[in-house]
Amino acid sequence: EMQVIESGGDLVRPGGSLRLTCKVSGFDFSSYAMSWVRQAPGKGLEWVSGISGSGGATYNADSVKGRFIVSRDNSKNTLHLQMNGLRVEDTAVYYCAKDFFFNLATGNAFDMWGQGTMVTVSS
Amino acid sequence: QSALTQPASVSGSPGQSITISCTGTNSDLGAYNYVSWYQQHPGKAPKLMIYDVRVRPSGVSNRFSGSKSGNTASLTISGLQPEDEADYYCTSYTSRNTVLFGGGTKVTVV
């Protein structure tokens, strides 16, 4: 059975840091791109960051560029999102999403999602 | 980057067909055929309904269909059913190597 499970969400002060982890199982992790997508309370979906199957290419939304770093460890079937310089507007449920394709630049379709982990940025 | 433009809400009666539009620019939707649609029920994770403009993943009902013309993509739901009531989001790859979501459309079955 394919599974995607996020962890690491927490309450953090503005300016603080947090590291999210996504553990997957049931499929060949290194063959697929992965992305982080967030949803602020009562709002729509926003793509945050993506990484190719090999980890050689990473992509970030303008809203998090220079603050968030996406990485993956294919030997451990894990995806990470290092979030630095957190702002109140980063408060959201963060979803880990498996892509149907190897690289975002050649197609993207998020065909498997976790249940999300909540990040709250507040003083 | 601004989100892709979707109507805030669309409604229809059971059995009817509805269409949700998604408008972008020449730098995203108009430049690539990497358009996807997602369905999200309250409190749940999104579900992929369409990718590459018109391709349905295995297990998705053929009542859902996608198309694109110029800078506008569309999702049509035929034979509307109560369980189709949900929020729907479009996405597109962009020339800035990012993925852009639409603002979301709430579908109501009246």
What is the token pair recorded at B62? Answer: 């053929």
Please provide the average confidence, as pLDDT, over all residues in chain B.
96
Do residues B94 and B100 touch, judged by C-beta distance below 8 A? yes
State the average pLDDT over residues A1-20.
97
State the average pLDDT over residues A58-67.
96
Q: pLDDT (tens digit, 9 = 90+) per residue, A102-117?
A: 888 778 899 999 999 9
Do residues A121 and A103 touch, judged by C-beta distance below 8 A? no
What is the CA A19 to chain-centroid distance, rounded? 10
* CA Rg value for chain B: 13
CB-CB neighbors (< 8 A) of B34 in chain A: 107-108
B41 to chain A, any CB pair closer than 8 A? The answer is no
Cα A119 to Cα A12: distance, rounded to the nearest angstrom: 8
Closest to A71 measured CA to CA, from A40, A36, A95: A36
pLDDT computed for residue A10 by the predictor: 97
Locate tokens 């995806």: which residue?
A: A79
Measured between CA atoms, how close is A107 to chain B, in angstroms? 5
pLDDT at A22 over 90: yes
Measured between CA atoms, how close is A65 to chain B, in angstroms? 11
pLDDT at A119 over 80: yes
Do residues A121 and A88 touch, judged by C-beta distance below 8 A? yes
State the average pLDDT over residues A7-15.
98
Query: pLDDT > 70: what percent of chain A?
Result: 100
Q: Which residues are CB-contacts of B70 (< 8 A; sequence separation ≥ 6)?
A: B30
State the average pLDDT over residues B63-85.
98
Phi, psi of A51, deg, nearest 5: -150, 140
B51 to chain A, any CB pair closer than 8 A? The answer is yes
pLDDT computed for residue A106 by the predictor: 77
CB-CB neighbors (< 8 A) of A46 in chain B: 3, 101
Reported residue count of chain A is 123
Q: pLDDT confidence of A50, banded at 50, 70, 90?
A: very high
pLDDT computed for residue A105 by the predictor: 79
Measured between CA atoms, how close is A13 to chain B, in angstroms? 26
> Per the CB < 8 Å rule, is A108 touching B1?
no
> Per the CB < 8 Å rule, is A50 touching B45?
no
pLDDT computed for residue A122 by the predictor: 98
Closest to A35 measured CA to CA, from A118, A98, A101: A98
**Cβ neighbours around A31 below 10 Å, total:** 12
State the average pLDDT over residues A45-55.
96
Please provide the average confidence, as pLDDT, over all residues in chain A.
96
Q: Which residue among A50, A105, A109 places its CB closest to the CB of B36?
A: A109
pLDDT at B40 over 80: yes
pLDDT computed for residue A102 by the predictor: 87
Cα A56 to Cα A64: distance, rounded to the nearest angstrom: 19
Q: pLDDT (tens digit, 9 = 90+) per residue, A86-102?
A: 999 999 999 999 999 98
Measured between CA atoms, how close is A5 to chain B, in angstroms? 12
Q: Which residues are CB-contacts of B94 (< 8 A; sequence separation ≥ 6)?
A: B1, B27, B28, B31, B32, B100
State the average pLDDT over residues A52-70.
96
